[in-house]
Chain A
Amino acid sequence: MDFIRTIATRLFYAVSLLLAVLVLNFTLIHLAPGDVADTIAQSMGGADEEILDRIRADYGLDQPFLIQLGSYMARVLRFDLGYSFFYSMPVTELILQRLPATLLLVFLAQLLALIVGVVLGVISARRPNGMLSHFVTFFALFGYSAPVFWTGILLLIAFSLKIQWFPVAGMRDVTLIGGFWAHFWDVARHLVLPVITLSSIFLALYSRLSRATMMETLGSDYVRTAKAKGLSSRSVVYKHALKNALSPVITLAGLQFSAVVSGAVLVETVFAWPGLGTLAFQSIIARDTPTILGILFFSALMVIVGNLLTDFALRAVDPRMRGRG
């Protein structure tokens, strides 16, 4: 019962956050100089006031702000994000078309960063003065300090242009003919560099944090007790200490979702990955406000869902969290 109530509170809270995001975005766009009518007029090669007024009436832009906001919210609640005049299709459809590519990239990058980061952190915590430990420290600094788009371009130059192991851009080879596995392999090959690039930032963060927490945990009393009982060092580390050292890392990973989405924008641009990031960039350049609003909405949704998942993951790992609301 308690669990259900917790979930309900969380969901209610998530939805209200999302609505607040909607209001902020809509207000922001409304405050910006120029509106959709101007953009459309520009793409037509100019228009007089009469036509501008007609476009404004078509898009409901002649209504008072609060009414526009209200009708926008009402439409969003019915999953209608409006119509993109730049792509000439409904925004929801447009975004759902691009979303899987971004989700794939973001999910795999987070997963890779978490697994490799924790493994590196744990191994180096066991030998704090070993080679690997120094490597992790150095690597963490690199990951934090290198601009992610630059890392991407460096990998691109090294592994697509100089040694031609991976494709230069995109998500699939459109000329490819073959069965499911041929396509699967094709997408996987396209994924390698973008995923490594995006995970490089977070890998650094996670390995550093898990090294620190692991070292702290390994020095704690209960670990000493476990060792005194005569358990092997391996079993102490992986069965007892790891579970406790994990929760700060998961918390941090949860806080990174908005950074992951941001990083995805840059990585997608570098690798011409057909996801939300490239769509966001194009629609911002084209001033396609319905699409911009839709993407902001969806990315906030992604972050919120990510946070919820983190929350549940934390509860699974750390029983102390379960009692909290």
Chain B
Amino acid sequence: MTDQTTEPTVKAQSPLSEAWDMFRRNHAAMAGLVVLCCIVLGAIFGPYLYPGKPFEMAWAPFSPPGADGFLLGTDYLGRDLLAQIIHGARVTLIIGLSAAIVTVVIGVTIGAMAGFYGGIVEEALMRFTEFFQVLPTLLFSMVIVALFGASLPMITLAIGLVSWTAVARITRAEFLRIRELEYVMASRASGASGRKLMFRVILPNALPPIIVQSALMVGSAILFEAGLSFLGLTDPNVISWGQIIGSNRQYILESSFTVTIPGLAIFITVLAISLVGDGLNDALNPRLRQR
């Protein structure tokens, strides 16, 4: 992992701190990171700091942002929109994160096995992946959520089940490339077992593109959840940003901010995540670094 363009006078850096230096110099990515941290902190501590209740009628419906002491106004039932946004952030982030984890676990396992073993295993697993690519993602998870219940684990699973294919393809491509490298041969010759080769020898070097893709997966899982809850297929007792938009949608003639504000929240969160993902891509991808 030594960088040949580095001046010899420069002190040797660990790959991690080198990547962090790259990342830090990327202003857009840093901005994204700061915004993302604020959102996460707000989701964790907001409900304790802000007294508003998301489900209680607090004021007259549709009072505009800033009026009557409600910073973001009230929704069609007169509920405090800011309280809803703060409480919704938790669900949105939890589902985004856990669905991304499911996605990565499935994708990396299948991609790694396909790329490592090759032959029939690879053929079968890639056919399996293509099969999941054919399924219309949102429709399929709509059906799962509608038929099997809209609990948080089920929504997470429904999103994870349809989104892992990209991760699997990337992992496989990396494994195909890396397994032919000399250091892997050496490790194989010295008698490393298949599992050790896969997860201890090859996987660490295949990680950079997988990490970037996982970061983007959090964003797309958030969008996915937003879509499901916008359609009203998620649990009505668990508030999320998409759900606020969905339930206020009929009233855009009376007031549009109840729809635009939660949408803005989703947009800013996903934008921050994709900026961070872009920054990670530049920082972790040595091929791009030389440009």
**Taking beta carbons and an 8 Å cutoff, which residues of A are in contact with B?**
17, 20-21, 24-25, 28-29, 32-34, 141-142, 144-150, 153-154, 156-157, 161, 255, 258-259, 261-263, 265-266, 269-270, 280-281, 284-285, 287, 292, 295-296, 299-300, 302-304, 307
Contact call A303/B134, Cβ cutoff below 8 A: yes
Contact call A29/B142, Cβ cutoff below 8 A: no
Contact call A21/B135, Cβ cutoff below 8 A: yes
Residues of A within 8 Å of B137, CB to CB, are: 258-259, 262
Q: What bracket does the count of chain B residues touching chain A fall in?
A: 35 or more
Contact call B136/A147, Cβ cutoff below 8 A: no
Nearest residue, chain A, Cβ from B278: A141
Nearest residue, chain A, Cβ from B263: A150
- With A258-B137, A262-B137 as contacts: A145 and B219 at CB distance below 8 Å: yes
Nearest residue, chain A, Cβ from B147: A32
* Sample (25) of A-B pairs whose CB atoms are under 8 Å apart: A17-B131, A21-B134, A21-B135, A141-B274, A144-B219, A144-B274, A145-B219, A145-B267, A145-B273, A145-B274, A146-B267, A150-B226, A150-B267, A153-B245, A154-B263, A156-B252, A261-B139, A262-B139, A265-B142, A284-B233, A292-B143, A295-B139, A296-B140, A304-B134, A307-B134
- Minimum C-beta distance from A248 to chain B (A): 14
Residue of B143, B223, B275 most packed against chain A (CB within 10 A)? B143
Instruction: Provide the bound-state CA to CA distance between A92 and B227, in Å.
Output: 27
Contact call A296/B275, Cβ cutoff below 8 A: no
Task: List residues 228-251 of chain B with CB under 8 A from any CB of chain A.
Answer: 230-231, 233, 242, 245, 249
Residues of A within 8 Å of B242, CB to CB, are: 147
- The answer to whether the Cβ of B30 comes within 8 Å of any Cβ in the partner chain is no
Residues of A within 8 Å of B148, CB to CB, are: 32-33
Contact call B144/A28, Cβ cutoff below 8 A: yes
Residues of A within 8 Å of B266, CB to CB, are: 146-147, 150
Task: List residues 112-152 of chain B with CB under 8 A from any CB of chain A.
Answer: 130-131, 133-140, 142-144, 146-148
- The answer to whether the Cβ of B260 comes within 8 Å of any Cβ in the partner chain is yes
Which 7 pairs of residues, A with B, have the shortest CB-CB distance? A262-B138, A150-B263, A32-B147, A145-B271, A145-B270, A299-B136, A261-B136
Contact call B147/A144, Cβ cutoff below 8 A: no
- With A145-B271, A153-B259 as contacts: A296 and B136 at CB distance below 8 Å: yes
Give B251-287 as 1s and 0s: 1 = Cβ < 8 Å from A's Cβ atoms: 0110010011001001100110111000000000000
- With A28-B147, A145-B219, A149-B227 as contacts: A258 and B134 at CB distance below 8 Å: yes
Give B136-170 as 1s and 0s: 1 = Cβ < 8 Å from A's Cβ atoms: 11111011101110000000000000000000000
Q: By DSSP majority rule, is chain B's interface helix, strand, loop, or mixed? A: helix
Instruction: Provide the bound-state CA to CA distance between A33 and B223, in Å.
Output: 28
Contact call B227/A147, Cβ cutoff below 8 A: yes
Residues of A within 8 Å of B260, CB to CB, are: 150, 153-154, 157
Nearest residue, chain A, Cβ from B223: A147
Instruction: Provide the bound-state CA to CA distance between A32 and B150, in Å.
Output: 13
Instruction: Provide the bound-state CA to CA distance between A144 and B146, in Å.
Output: 27
Residues of B within 8 Å of A21, CB to CB, are: 131, 134-135
Residues of B within 8 Å of A270, CB to CB, are: 249
Residues of A within 8 Å of B136, CB to CB, are: 258, 261-262, 265, 296, 299-300, 302-303
Residues of A within 8 Å of B134, CB to CB, are: 17, 21, 258, 300, 303-304, 307
Instruction: Provide the bound-state CA to CA distance between A150 and B257, in Å.
Output: 12
Contact call A144/B140, Cβ cutoff below 8 A: no
